[in-house]
Each structure stands twice: as C-alpha cells, then as structure tokens.
Amino acid sequence: MSDRTRRDLLRVGALGAGALLAGCTGNSSTETPDTGDDSTPSEEEETATPTPEDTSYSVEMVPVGSVEFDSVPETWVANNGSWADMGIALGLEPPKGVWLTSRYHTQYYDSIPGVSVDKSGMVDLYQDGVSKELFYELDADVHVMDPNFLMNRFKGWKQADVDEVAQNIGPFFGNCIYAQHYPWHDDYRYYSLYEGFERLAQVFQRTDRYEAFTEVHDEFQQTLAPVVPGTGERPAVAVLWGVGDAPEQFYPYLIGGGTGFKHLRDLRVRDALAETDIKDFHGSRAAIDVETLLEVDPEVLLLRGYESKTAAEFENTVVASLEEHPTASELQAVQHGDVYRAGGLYAGPITNMVLTERLAADLYGADEELFDRERVARIVRGDA
C-alpha cells in the first residue's frame, strides 16, 4: 500500500482521553457483485462505476478502545516479546522492532520444527529513550503496545505525540500485560495471555490459528496437571534478578499476575519472598544482598537475567559462583543443586509452554515433552 493512500484513508479509533487513527487501507475490488440477474444491463449500468467492497473491521482493547482497520496490517512493531511471540504463533513476519531485542529470546523456538526468528534486522525501540523519529523510520501499519507505557515508563512522550504517530503512521493497539505493577495501569483492566492473543489474532484476521492454539494449550494444561505435586510438596521458591555472572545482589520479584509469571502460576510454586517483608523490585527498585537472601533461605532459587545462557553456561558461571561464595554457599538451594533459570519477563503462547515445560523438568523431574511441538509448527504454518 502506498504511503499517500494509507495516510489519506485513516479511520478513527478511540484512545483513552485522545483519539487514535488507524493506518491501513483496504484493497478495492473492481469486480461487479453477482446479483443473479441474467438480463442484459442497460447502457447506464454498463458505464456505472462499481462500488468497492468495504473490507474495514474494528477490534477493541483497553485502553485504546475500538480501533478500525481498512485492511489487514502488513508491518508492525511490538512492545516486547510477549506480543512478538503471539505474532509468530499467528504465522506473521517478525515485528520490525521491539522495546529491547536482547530480551526477546528467540532461542525458545529452537525446539519447534521449522519455526525460527532472525533478529538481525530488528530494531530496539528503546535507545536511551524512545525517538518519535524512529517510529517514522519504521513506518509500521500498527504499533502493538500500550500507549500509556510510552507516556509513563519514562519522560518524553505525551498524548499529543501518541496521537501524532497514530494519525501519521499507524494506530496503537495493546495493553501492558507482562506484569501488574505499574500504578498508571490501576484504572483499567489487564488481559490474560490468551485474551490478548485473541485480540491480536482479530487484528491480523488469523483467529483460526488462535483457536487452534487454545486447543493445544488446553491439552498442555491437562498433561501438566499430574506433573504438579500436591500443595504440601510444592517448593518455596525465590524469583530474583541476579546482578552479573557472580551475583552478590539480587532484585526480588514477587510472583503475581501478568504473562511473565504465568508459567510459575501454572506450576503452583510457593513464593518464599511473599512470606517476608521484602518488597517487590517493581515497586521499590531496591536490591537485596546475599545475607538477606540467606535469612529467607528458599528451597529453590529461580534467577532471571540469564536467558541468553544455555543451562550448561548458567551452571558453569552463575551457579559455580554461588557455590564458591562464602555466604551464598550456605543457601539450601545452592547446597541441594536447586538453582535454575526462571525464564524471561515476556511470554507469549509458544514461549509460555516452552518455559513451563522446562521448569517442570527442573522442579518436578518431568522427563517428557508436555505439548505437541509438531502441532504447534503446523499451526504457525497455517496447516492446522
């Protein structure tokens, strides 16, 4: 679609306090509809211009409201790996940009036959701030992100900037669903992973893939259920972001709502930090030291920030450093070999199942594949 045509045919959608404009045009049909009338048309009828077929549709999501599209978007950017993974599950080309490409862990696709993502041309939206000019350069048909994230996560963006990008480039469509801790999100609802996934499927008109994924997820949950032990046998875990490969400071994460904690909720682990007065990092931005961690002494350590490492690399660096540390080595999790990667912050439908299965093996000794990878691959291809 040409830039001029797309810009000229923007349609209005609501965004909280300001109006958002959609940025995709329809493909006009030049065929005359079949009326079922075999009579010879009059000269006037022969010279009449046929009415183009209306291909527009709208999709709703708070806080952006109802966003109308004139045709299916072709290019897009995503706030993070949660939304990017949903797009891959729908069989889309990868987004042109995400907030931080380093935190979109595409190695999770390695076990899915035929599914891979090349990030070499993908752009970091955040580069010591977020440039409005970068949005113009990317020229995406839709921006799959919560505009309130842009306006509240750091200084620089205002409602007028959001409206400008939506009007001149393409609409915003998203909700900040990876965690539930931002105070500016308190006045409007969150979506679960599959609620957000369903709405994104509607945007890209691929609801058949979404429906197929819900079947795989339901089967996965049924397979997972007997793997998870009873309440009294579930371990008390501490989810922490380790600082460096030889961590002596940790940012604590309390297990809560959001797509980034779904695999932990599904595995029904007990939150060792929730039983203390330690504050969640999202609210306090504070770290705890090894001595404080020893006071809690969780049965299992689940460490974030190491998803770029393989299991072996994690063992040889992070775990080895804890085993050699005079205080950390006293932790029962370290002594018993129960220190694992926690999984990334951003999880979509594929990522969630991969991480849940991985952690089920770490925590509960599950030694089999818990979801059908071949079926996932077929859905992504559009064959199921």
- Write down the pLDDT at residue 52: 61
Of 358, 304, 313, the closest CA to residue 110 belongs to 358
Mean pLDDT of the chain: 88
266 and 193 fall within a common domain? no
212 and 237 fall within a common domain? no
DSSP state of 97: E
Q: Quick one: what percent of the chain has pLDDT higher than 90?
A: 83
211 assigned to some structural domain? yes
Of 308, 299, 309, 363, the closest CA to residue 333 belongs to 299
184 and 269 fall within a common domain? no
- Write down the pLDDT at residue 11: 35
209 and 236 fall within a common domain? no
Length of the chain: 384
- Binned at pLDDT 50, 70 and 90, residue 34 comes out as very low
183 and 137 fall within a common domain? yes
Domain boundary among 160, 188, 217: 217
Q: What is the CATH number of the domain that holds 56?
A: 3.40.50.1980
Q: Quick one: what percent of the chain has pLDDT higher than 70?
A: 86
357 and 238 fall within a common domain? yes
287 and 153 fall within a common domain? no
**Per-residue pLDDT reduced to its tens digit, 256-285:** 999 999 999 999 999 999 999 999 997 778
**Per-residue pLDDT reduced to its tens digit, 179-228:** 998 999 999 999 999 999 999 999 999 999 999 999 999 999 999 999 99
Quote the tokens at residue 111. 């076990």
44 assigned to some structural domain? no
| Mean pLDDT along residues 280-297 | 92
97 and 156 fall within a common domain? yes
- Write down the pLDDT at residue 51: 54
Total domains in the fold of the chain = 2
224 assigned to some structural domain? no
225 assigned to some structural domain? no
- Write down the pLDDT at residue 384: 75
Domain boundary among 191, 217, 243: 217
Asked whether residue 319 carries a pLDDT value surpassing 80, the answer given is yes
Peptide bond just before 33 cis, omega within 30 deg: no
135 assigned to some structural domain? yes
Please give the residue range of the domain that contains residue 22.
3-31+52-217
| Mean pLDDT along residues 29-47 | 36
- Binned at pLDDT 50, 70 and 90, residue 28 comes out as very low
283 and 348 fall within a common domain? yes
141 and 273 fall within a common domain? no
12 and 153 fall within a common domain? yes
42 assigned to some structural domain? no
- Write down the pLDDT at residue 9: 35
- Binned at pLDDT 50, 70 and 90, residue 88 comes out as very high
223 assigned to some structural domain? no
Domain boundary among 217, 241, 265: 217
60 assigned to some structural domain? yes
Say if residue 31 is exposed, middle or buried (CB neighbours under 10 Å; 0-12, 13-18, 19+).
Answer: exposed
How many Cα atoms are found within 13 Å in the side-chain-facing hemisphere of 140? 28
272 and 340 fall within a common domain? yes
Q: Whose structure tokens read 């990334």? A: 344
User: How far, CA to CA in Å, does 362 sit from each of 192, 340, 370?
Assistant: 25, 7, 14
Asked whether residue 377 carries a pLDDT value surpassing 70, the answer given is yes
Quote the tokens at residue 151. 């306006």
